[in-house]
């Protein structure tokens, strides 16, 4: 098939296009209207249709392939591997649904899930979907304050959690944080259900806390039929990563999401029933929702849930999983691949990776060096895909399942079917031409699968996302981009990561990309720092591959000169950072996103802000050190 025609059809006749796609899933009752866009920007897909995510992910597959693997939970933290067939998964989900019902949870109630990457977390998500409860998974690494604000926003009837997560062999107590968060919150849940992994002590609150194992034992023979939901009933709330400020509670529907996932599994991820999918993300993020739990199962694939680091027990762990479970499609993030690139390549060459067809990367810009390296190592196509928590599935990518269009280095690809992607000039609001930089926006209606609203706050949905440009209602991604003459987009960073040097507006991402092309640069962050003369100047923080070359002042000065030379050459002197500092690591969120705002704050002597999502607080001190070393001179 020709992708251009496929795309055109999705844009010109969306109702016919998505009606056809709706046949990829099971409906209890078909819809009466494919699209209701009578109240823009609120789009309703498959109005009147009745379906269920859990039915499509689990029950639907039990008849034809009930004995096949559905969920494989691997933990290198506790050295366990648990595999559940579709039949076994249904049994566990029914038990969990019965457990939740016995705790008073019903249709429309919120269930907050604060759990590590264990099978019970997936059971709980699917059980909520089964009975029409609305789950809200909060990333297990978040501290009490962030958790409390999400509890207050979602007002859950039940919180499901565990004694602890584990990282690098160390237990990370969850229960203690959860108790603290509940104390801080005003919307206290009536019940808390706890999986005890025997990793950390737990204090039980009588009357509130329930034990998973005991409740499960009391519900071994439970049968809980699927509750058929209207397509536009909410399925879940998921808060955005919070890279740019207060997280937004993204609310998603049932039918549109199921159809969008089924389509993307077919056209983007090319997954076939019976094969194995491996997404290395976490259930706390959108990738975990769409491509660890729901997407692969809706496509009848086995899905792998992995708890552990990519380099423990050694850097071969993921590839050993690919070999053992004959993974055909793998999904990860550039940050994880950069971690692997620092390891000796023998680890990935040890395993038989012949089952693997493609590696999908998303979440942050994919630099050319990383992309080329992993593509050569694996010998499979690397498929970048650009999207957001808000959209639930890729906005830009290459839909290899439609047409084998070539990928282009540095570009996530072209607009995906259903998305009317445009670039608008920031000041005039006019559409950009080829190779002209603008804000990436999407014309309404957003396709199926995208957010319905901000949970409990329709006005915030309109104000936040649809009000960037005067006089036109378009969805703003808050990312910069350019499109080449062939329709390939390049993402140039977030609109609030732009710096202004002596009147020139520069994307920090462009400077980072340029610095990355220096052979000794492993990772880089560029931020704009206040400057009396120029307004702002760019400052770069670099992790080098070969640290012996930056071991002393002379070495650092030489490397800095070389790096600045690269920027001068590629972007011009206007983009040249005022300084390049060498650091052992960069502050990132646990989902691998650079905390540029915090780095910038430190450079300007301000408070680095909310750091609950930070991976390693020591990284901020290292930035301080780098700056202070300079001040001493």
Q: Which residues bind ligand ATP (CB under 6 A)?
A: 240-245, 247, 286, 362-366, 384-389, 412, 477, 479, 491, 494, 593
What's the closest the beta carbon of residue 244 comes to ligand ATP, in angstroms? 3
Cβ-proximal residues to 456 (8 Å cutoff; 6+ apart), any chain: 153, 249
Taking the least distance from each CB to ligand ATP, the nearer of 132 and 392 is: 392
Q: What's the CA gap between 238 and 120, in Å, rounded?
A: 18
Taking the least distance from each CB to ligand ATP, the nearer of 89 and 613 is: 613
Taking the least distance from each CB to ligand ATP, the nearer of 73 and 415 is: 415
Q: What's the CA gap between 600 and 438, in Å, rounded?
A: 24
Output DSSP code: residue 520.
Answer: T
CA 474 to centroid of chain Cα atoms: 23
What's the closest the beta carbon of residue 494 comes to ligand ATP, in angstroms? 5
Location of structure tokens 């390939």: 488
Beta strands in 394-433 (DSSP E): 396-397, 414-415, 420-424
The structure tokens listed for 274 are 């019976």
The structure tokens listed for 552 are 């002393």
What's the closest the beta carbon of residue 488 comes to ligand ATP, in angstroms? 13
Q: Tell whether the torsion through CA atoms of 480, 484, 485 and 487 is positive or negative.
A: negative
The structure tokens listed for 321 are 């999983």
Inter-axis angle of helices 86-102 and 119-131, to 10 degrees?
70
Taking the least distance from each CB to ligand ATP, the nearer of 60 and 135 is: 135
Taking the least distance from each CB to ligand ATP, the nearer of 180 and 610 is: 610
Q: Are 152 and 185 in contact (CB under 8 A)?
A: yes
What's the closest the beta carbon of residue 82 comes to ligand ATP, in angstroms? 28
SS3 167: strand
Output DSSP code: residue 285.
Answer: S
Taking the least distance from each CB to ligand ATP, the nearer of 243 and 522 is: 243
Cα-trace Rg, the chain: 24
The structure tokens listed for 390 are 């808000």
User: Within 13 A of 211's CA, how many CA atoms are on the CB side?
Assistant: 11
The structure tokens listed for 551 are 């071991």
Taking the least distance from each CB to ligand ATP, the nearer of 6 and 478 is: 478
Taking the least distance from each CB to ligand ATP, the nearer of 212 and 257 is: 257
Q: Are 321 and 304 in contact (CB under 8 A)?
A: yes
Location of structure tokens 């959209």: 391
Q: Are 399 and 358 in contact (CB under 8 A)?
A: no
What's the closest the beta carbon of residue 173 comes to ligand ATP, in angstroms? 26
Measured CA distances, 470 to 295, 430, 467, 497 (Å): 37, 11, 7, 22
What's the closest the beta carbon of residue 225 comes to ligand ATP, in angstroms? 34
What's the closest the beta carbon of residue 478 comes to ligand ATP, in angstroms? 6
What's the closest the beta carbon of residue 268 comes to ligand ATP, in angstroms? 13
What's the closest the beta carbon of residue 43 comes to ligand ATP, in angstroms? 19
User: Omega before 445 cis (within 30°)?
Assistant: yes
Taking the least distance from each CB to ligand ATP, the nearer of 52 and 385 is: 385
The structure tokens listed for 259 are 């159809």
Taking the least distance from each CB to ligand ATP, the nearer of 250 and 327 is: 250
What's the closest the beta carbon of residue 223 comes to ligand ATP, in angstroms? 37
């Amino acid at each position: 098939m020709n992708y251009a025609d496929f795309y055109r059809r999705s844009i010109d006749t969306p109702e016919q296009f998505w009606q056809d796609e709706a046949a990829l899933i099971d409906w209890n009752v078909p819809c009466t209207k494919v699209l209701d866009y009578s109240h823009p920007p609120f789009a309703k897909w498959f109005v009147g249709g009745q379906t269920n995510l859990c039915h499509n992910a689990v029950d639907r597959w039990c008849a034809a392939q009930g004995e096949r693997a559905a969920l494989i939970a691997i933990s290198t933290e506790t050295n366990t591997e648990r595999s559940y067939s579709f039949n076994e998964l249904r049994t566990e989900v029914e038990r969990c649904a019965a457990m939740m019902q016995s705790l008073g949870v019903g249709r429309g109630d919120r269930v907050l899930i604060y759990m590590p990457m264990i099978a019970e977390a997936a059971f709980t998500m699917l059980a909520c979907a089964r009975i029409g409860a609305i789950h809200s998974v909060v990333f297990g690494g978040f501290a009490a304050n962030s958790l409390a604000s999400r509890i207050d926003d979602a007002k859950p009837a039940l919180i499901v959690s565990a004694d602890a997560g584990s990282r690098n062999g160390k237990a990370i107590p969850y229960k203690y944080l959860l108790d603290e968060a509940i104390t801080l919150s005003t919307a206290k849940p009536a019940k808390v259900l706890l999986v005890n992994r025997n990793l950390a002590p737990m204090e039980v609150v009588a009357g509130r806390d329930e034990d998973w194992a005991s409740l499960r034992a009391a519900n071994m023979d439970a049968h809980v039929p699927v509750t058929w939901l209207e397509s536009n009933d909410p399925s879940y709330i998921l808060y955005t990563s919070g890279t740019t400020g207060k997280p937004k509670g993204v609310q998603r529907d049932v039918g549109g999401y199921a159809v969008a996932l089924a389509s993307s599994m077919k056209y983007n991820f090319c997954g076939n029933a019976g094969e194995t999918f491996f997404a290395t993300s976490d259930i706390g993020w959108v990738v975990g929702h769409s491509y660890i739990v729901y997407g692969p199962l809706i496509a009848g694939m086995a899905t792998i849930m992995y708890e552990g680091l990519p380099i423990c027990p050694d850097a071969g762990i993921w590839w050993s999983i690919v070999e053992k479970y004959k993974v055909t499609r793998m999904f990860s993030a550039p940050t994880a691949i950069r971690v692997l690139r620092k390891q000796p390549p023998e680890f990935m060459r040890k395993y038989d990776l012949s089952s693997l067809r493609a590696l999908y990367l998303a979440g942050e810009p994919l630099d050319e060096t990383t992309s080329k390296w992993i593509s050569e190592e694996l010998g499979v196509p690397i498929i970048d895909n650009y999207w957001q928590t808000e959209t639930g599935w890729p906005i830009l990518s290459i839909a290899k399942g439609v047409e084998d269009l070539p990928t282009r280095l540095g570009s996530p690809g072209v607009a995906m079917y259903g998305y009317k992607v445009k670039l608008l000039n920031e000041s005039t609001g006019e559409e950009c031409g080829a190779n002209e930089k603008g804000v990436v926006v999407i014309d309404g209606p957003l396709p199926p699968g995208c957010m319905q609203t901000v949970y409990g706050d329709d006005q915030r949905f309109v104000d936040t996302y649809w009000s960037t440009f005067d006089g036109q209602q378009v969805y703003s991604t808050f990312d910069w981009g350019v499109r080449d003459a062939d329709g390939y987009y390049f993402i140039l960073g977030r609109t609030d990561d732009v710096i202004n040097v002596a009147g020139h507006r520069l994307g920090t991402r462009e400077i980072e990309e340029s610095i990355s092309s220096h052979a000794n640069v492993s990772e880089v962050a560029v931020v704009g720092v206040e400057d009396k003369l120029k307004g702002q100047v760019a400052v770069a923080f670099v992790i080098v591959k070969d640290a012996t070359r930056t071991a002393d002042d002379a070495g650092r000065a030489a490397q800095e000169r070389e790096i600045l030379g690269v920027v001068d050459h590629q972007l011009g002197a206007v983009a040249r950072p005022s300084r390049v500092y060498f650091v052992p690591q960069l502050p990132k969120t646990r989902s691998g996103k650079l905390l540029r705002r915090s780095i910038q704050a430190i450079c300007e002597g301000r408070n680095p802000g909310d750091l609950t999502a930070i991976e390693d607080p020591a990284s901020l001190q290292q930035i301080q050190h780098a700056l202070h070393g300079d001040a001493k001179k």
